[in-house]
Structure 1
Amino acid sequence: MALVNLIFILLFLVSLVYSKVTLENSGFESPPTNLTTNSTSQFILLDTKTNRIPGWSFNGTVWYVTAGENVSLPGNGHGVQLGPNGMINQTFKPDGNYDYVLTFTLAPSSPDCANSTSVNVSGPSASEVFFFRESLGTEMWQTYAYSLWSQENKKGLMSLQIQSTSNSNNITCWPIVDTILVTGIHGPRWYSDNGFVNSGFEVGPAFIENSSQGVLLEADSSYPDSSVQSPLQYWTILGIVKYIDSKHYAVPRGGRAVELVSGNPSGIVSSVGFLKHGQVTIDFIMGDANDSCVGDFLVFLQVGDTMIWNFTMRSIGVGSREAHSVTFMAEFSNTESVLISFTSFNETRTSNNVLCGPVIDSTVLRFSDGLHSKAHKDIGLVTFSFLLAMTLLIFV
């Protein structure tokens, strides 16, 4: 009974880190009101005067879409297509203790439109354009994440908006969006001897229930050097990486990891401040995701401007992994923020010709005398409570 109570408490602590926002009609399975078109039509044009999408406001040209011929959606359900000036919007009440991360699905209207599909996603203070990339998945839909964090909007309502972008390549290719999730992530507060925050990547965007493709994370053009505005808490994204889970991929440790998939370059960056000079060790695990990614992996670990190490691994795509470690003398100013990055520049593909690459997990930054980095004033209990709770659940 005591063990059961402990598990309950640990899972409760994890729930304090995550807060899922319940968007109304997030998967568009509740149809628009006052539909007059034949219910078997795959694309139904909506009228802003007579139709209402439950939970959503919309403007411009918007169709209600049913999965079927040429259109693939999670769970073979429904979505909305955003035509010329097409836009959907929903507001929710945020909690000032959380940062919010959006997960959404993007799909082309047909295979011929795969390279001409994009949407503009807007939060309270910034926006980002996302493109469907045929080389990054086997499905005709892809899942992306975007940070809705806004320092100046911790009270009142937070607005989420997705709209079409002008497309001169093919005016018949308009994007379809589906399965929109918002997750609140609490700022970390747990202290440890690890200089990396979110070192095992357990804190990040939500996964789509009907997806085995992972979540694509892109560099934010509005805040290219900010880990605060990243959907992967406390890590900045370089290029495109794939956020993967242990349910569908080989994850070296814990439940989540990062796969470096885009090549030129693809990576993650953490900003660390060293309080004193001294010996520092960085440990990490490098592996493959068990996604038939065959090739020679090459990962560069860079600390500051001058210290660079490279690590190679021959992958046969079956979930192998290797632990690596480097030790160096930290002689940085205690007012200096030092960038530490894991980056891949070479390109590898799966047997389905999908871009893939090395998996990075379980990063550890250790100080020889037990000193903490400045980053620790923000470190949370998430990794400890999540991993311990999951371990207990596995072995009970």
Structure 2
Amino acid sequence: MGSGREMVHGNRRTALFLVVCVAARAASAIQDGLLPNGNFEEAPNKSKLNGTKVMGRYAIPHWEISGFVEYIGSGQKQGDMLLPVPEGAYALRLGNEASIQQKLSVTEGMHYSITFSAARTCAQAEELNVTVAPESDVLPIQTVYTSSGWDSYSWAFKATSSVVSLIVHNPGVTEDAACGPLIDLLAIKTLQPPQRTKNNLLKNGDFEEGPYIFPNTSCGVLVPPMDEDDYSPLSPWMILSSTKSVKYVDAAHYAVPHYSRAVELVSGMETALVQDVSTVPGRPYRLEFSAGDAGNGCVGSMSVQAYAARASVKVPYQSQGKGGYKRGVLDFTAIANQTRVVFVSMAYTMKPDGTLCGPIIDDASLVAVQNHAARRFLL
């Protein structure tokens, strides 16, 4: 009898140990940076590959896959087209309706941003659906902003539980599964909600709080258009557009006017960078900001238009592509309890390699004009 009880207890302990081990494998402890096997350098076992097609739901370490997923090596060709890999030796290609997912341990109630690199292949209107339930968005990836064909994208979510599933899915726009987008380098960052200061009614006016930027890549990170109810990777700034993005850049690779981060308006008049601010109707305010070039070889006549209430100002900048900026100032009187601050590039600019570029925005501040200054402003 005793040995039977011991056997039962032993089996229970073994079962509990297995459950704990499975749970530990199921969710990766969150840390800023690359997700576990986020660069796909941990390869599937050769027995799980049929050519480039991955066979088996759990064949790729740390990932669960569904549908037609290919394991692509750097320099591999598809017809006459070379399939590059942005870093390391391998990337994935998602066929129609294919997806990859990974469970993550997070802090409930916190906000996180996801950064990943993607490239379209032979389909022209490719897009990727990124989901952390209950939030989900389709990110357009048909516009290419780099000469390599690879761009880094960002997306943000609020954790509604302590374990979440990140899913990247190709909704499919072509009948040819081999025309799906390539994906590589998935990373995460915990976002700290920006706070308003007494010297600036704008939150995150210096753009220091934003998505993860890969330290070894110089292409910046695209912040795609979003519904106004979504949480922005560049919170509380929103990007309003149909299919175009803005680019989040760092001082390690770009000429940044203030501190270490800024935004490059790479899509001309098709994209607006906006933030809604609480204001007092009838009170005068002053908006100031830096506008210039990112020192990335973007040469030509640039122009940033800023709007607030019924006022606007245009700041022209003749770029030599070597960095530099000028300050813009917009004085206005609030007409409502909430004022939308808007920045738009009024010109389309391209670098010699044909990729889109544009003016840089940084160090934006909004203050209420004091009484004695207000009298001078109104005279």
TM-score over 0.5 for the pair: yes
1:282 aligns with 2:287: yes
Q: Does 1:161 align with 2:194?
A: no
Counterpart of 1:343? 344
CA distance in 2: counterparts of 1:19 and 1:203, whole angstroms:
16
Conserved in 1, the CA contact under 8 Å of 2:125 and 2:142? no
- Does residue 54 of structure 2 align to residue 46 of structure 1? yes
SS at match of 1:172: helix
RMSD between aligned residues: 2.4
What is the letter of the counterpart of residue 76 of structure 1?
Answer: G
Contact 1:266–1:345 at 8 Å: present in 2 too? no
Call closer, same or farther: CA 1:274–1:105 in 2, change over 3 Å.
same
* Residues 92-130 of structure 1 deviation map (CA, whole Å, 9 limit, x = unaligned): 122135201110010234xxx273543221122232233
In 1, Cα distance between equivalents of 2:59 and 2:48: 13
Tell me the residue number matched to 1:352.
Answer: 353
1:64 aligns with 2:71: yes
Task: Note the residue ranges of structure 1 that are not aligned, 5 or more in a row.
Answer: 1-17, 371-396
The match for 1:314 among 315, 318, 325 is: 318
Match of 1:199 in 2: 205
Residue 332 of structure 2 corresponds to residue 328 of structure 1? yes
User: Does structure 1 retain, via aligned residues, the 8 Å contact 2:293–2:319?
Assistant: yes
Find the residue that maps to 2:288 and give its secondary structure.
strand
**Corresponding residue for residue 379 of structure 1:** none
Deviation at 1:190, TM superposition (A): 6.2
Match of 1:98 among 101, 110, 130: 110
- In structure 1, what is the Cα distance between the partners aligned to 2:65 and 2:94? 10
CA distance in 2, matches of 1:116, 1:271: 31
Match of 2:238 in 1: 236
Give the letter aligned to residue 324 of structure 1.
G
Distance in structure 2 (CA, Å) of the matches to 1:310 and 1:169: 46
In structure 1, how many angstroms separate the alpha carbons of the residues matched to 2:324 and 2:33?
A: 36
Change (3 A) 1:211 1:83: same
Task: State whether residues 96 and 174 of structure 2, in contact with CA within 8 Å, keep that contact through their aligned partners in structure 1.
Answer: no
Conserved in 2, the CA contact under 8 Å of 1:73 and 1:107? no
**Aligned-partner residue type, residue 45 of structure 1:** K
Answer whether contact 1:124 1:158 (CA < 8 A) is retained.
yes
Separation in structure 2 between the aligned mates of residue 131 and residue 278 of structure 1, nearest angstrom: 40
Is the partner of 2:87 in helix, strand or coil? helix
Summarize the Cα distance change of 1:36–1:265 in structure 2 as closer, same or farther, 3 Å threshold.
Answer: closer
Read off the aligned partner of 2:124 and give its amino acid letter: N
User: 2:151 aligns to what?
Assistant: 142
The 1:30/1:37 distance shift into structure 2, 3 A limit, reads same
Pick from 252, 263, 285 the counterpart of residue 268 of structure 2: 263
- Residue 167 of structure 1, CA deviation: 2.2
Do the aligned residues in 2 keep the contact of 1:284 with 1:361 (CA within 8 Å)? Answer: yes
The alignment covers a number of residue pairs equal to 334
* Structure 2: distance between partners of 1:280 and 1:114: 48
- Residue number in structure 1 paired with 2:192: 186
Residues 171 and 24 of structure 1, relative CA distance in 2, 3 Å threshold: closer
Task: Pick closer, same or farther for the CA change 1:63–1:341 going to 2, 3 Å.
Answer: same
Q: Is the 8 A contact 2:311 2:330 kept in 1?
A: no
Question: Match of 2:136, as an amino acid?
Answer: S
Letter aligned with residue 295 of structure 1: G
Which residue is equivalent to 1:24?
36
Residue aligned with 1:284, SS: strand
Greater relative contact order: 1 or 2 (C-alpha under 8 angstroms, separation 6 or more)?
1
Contact 1:68 1:76 in 2 (8 A): no
Q: Which amino acid aligns with 1:352?
A: D
Aligned amino acid, residue 38 of structure 2: S
Go from structure 1 to structure 2 and tell me whether the alpha carbon gap of 1:235 and 1:36 turns closer, same or farther (over 3 Å shift).
closer
CA gap 1:232/1:280 in 2 versus in 1, 3 angstroms: same
Q: Secondary structure at the match of 1:35?
A: helix
Deviations along 1:183-238, one digit per CA (max 9) or x if unpaired, are 11122346332011001101100012331111111111xx2x24x51111110112
Q: Distance in 2 between matches of 1:271 and 1:317?
A: 31
- 1:375 is aligned to none
- SS, match of residue 178 in structure 2: coil
> Deviation of residue 245 (structure 1)?
0.7
Percent of aligned positions with the same letter in both sequences? 28
Contact 1:97 1:186 in 2 (8 A): no
Say whether 1:175 aligns with 2:168.
Answer: no
Change (3 A) 1:169 1:267: farther
CA contact (8 A) 1:249 1:290 kept: yes
Specify the code of the residue in structure 2 equivalent to 1:101: S
Kept after mapping to 2: 8 A contact 1:278/1:367: yes
Which structure would you say has the larger Rg? 2
Residue 138 of structure 2: aligned partner? 129
CA contact (8 A) 1:23 1:55 kept: no
Cα contact 1:115–1:132 (8 A) shared by 2: no
